[in-house]
Chain A
Amino acid sequence: MNYQSNAQGKGPGITEHRRIRRRSYLIGLFYAVILTLASFWASSTDLIYAPGVPILLAVLAIAQMGVHLVFFLHISSAPDQTNNFLALAFGIFIVGLVVFGSMMIMANLNHAMMPMDQLMQMQR
């Protein structure tokens, strides 16, 4: 059973050693709590240079997503998880294309659009 599942790869979230898994949830909880508290603190403090706050929030959020993937979903780059890892990489690629592509195109269109009052005058 064991060697068979190793030979054919694993689904996400499967590990054999239950003691390691229990510990992994607790470690994950510890990191997630720290990162969550840090992002709530960062959003309401005056100690950080204000234009830098969104970047810090993004870094903290990406770190926490990583913590959840590794410690809760048990995704790793181990050889028997190649399929899961490749699918995840492709998913992240598409998410990046959709989000940043939309933002870039819409910002560009906003920039290129004629101001609304001039547009209204042309239609008359």
Chain B
Amino acid sequence: MNVMTETAAAAKTIPLSMRGPAPVQAVVGYGFWLFLLSDIIIFSALFAAYAVLSGETDGGPSGAALFDKTHVFYETACLLASSVTCGFATLAVQQRSMLTAFPWMTATLVLGAVFLCLERAEFAHMLATGNGPARSAFLSAFFTLVGAHGLHVAVGLFWLVIMVLQIATLGLRPMVRRRFFCFSLFWHALDIVWIGVFTIVYLGAR
């Protein structure tokens, strides 16, 4: 107890440059946070392209005519729910409890897969009715932005499957826990991007 308070007091007086290397967990988390921010900047460029081109329909259908809000609502619900189940899986992993981690990871996997299926059905319907990315600048920008997000979700699901396999084979050793932790940050960040997508693309459609 006494040692703890002394070190805590020392931590405040010792300058940052003299405290030695930071713990691996802090370095990995910070580095991955920087990656996520740069990924969000890539998305911001796609959002800017969409915002500029959203009116250029070339006589084709506009967003308001194409999008089905109930469909988008189900997609949003899936992604939000999967974000929370992913959070619970992270808690279980931090408590080294595989028995609670696996059900939450499975729930995240299923909800993410349902989201991808819904998005795939929407794209397939648009392509079948002749409104593919080649139809107008607006639709090119739409497929690029929403497709890039869907691709990220697909990569995230692939990552999650690998994490399930690694936890099953390697156990919850620190390295595996760090990887799962990075996955959870990635998954939450994708949900934040989706807020922008459903607000600007679907609800803001004119």
Contact = CB atoms under 8 A, between A and B. Distances in A.
Counting contact residues on chain A (CB < 8 A from B), the size range is 35 or more
B158 interface: no
Contacts of B185: 12-13, 73
Contacts of B188: 13, 68, 72-73
B106 to A, nearest CB: 17
B29 A13 contact: yes
Interface in B77-103: 77, 80, 83-84, 87-88, 90-91, 94-95
B23 A4 contact: yes
A21 B94 CA distance: 11
Interface in A53-68: 54, 57-58, 60-61, 64-65, 68
Contacts of B7: 3
Given A61-B195, A68-B191, A68-B192, A3 B8 contact: yes
B11 A3 contact: yes
Interface string B176-193: 000001001100110110
> Majority SS of interface residues in chain B?
helix
Contact of A65 (B8, B51, B73, B192): B192
Contacts of A6: 8, 11
B74 to A, nearest CB: 11
B43 to A, nearest CB: 8
Interface residues of B, number: 56
B94 A25 contact: no
B148 interface: no
Contacts of B38: 91
B30 A11 contact: yes
A65 B80 CA distance: 12
A99 interface: yes
Contact of A57 (B11, B32, B77, B199): B199
Interface of B: 4, 7-8, 11, 14, 16, 19, 22-23, 25-30, 32-34, 37-38, 40-41, 44-45, 47-49, 51-52, 69, 73, 76-77, 80, 83-84, 87-88, 90-91, 94-95, 181, 184-185, 188-189, 191-192, 195-196, 198-200, 203-204
Interface of A: 1, 3-14, 18, 21-22, 25-26, 28-29, 32-33, 36, 39-40, 42-44, 54, 57-58, 60-61, 64-65, 68-69, 72-73, 83-84, 87-88, 90-91, 94-95, 98-99, 101-103, 106
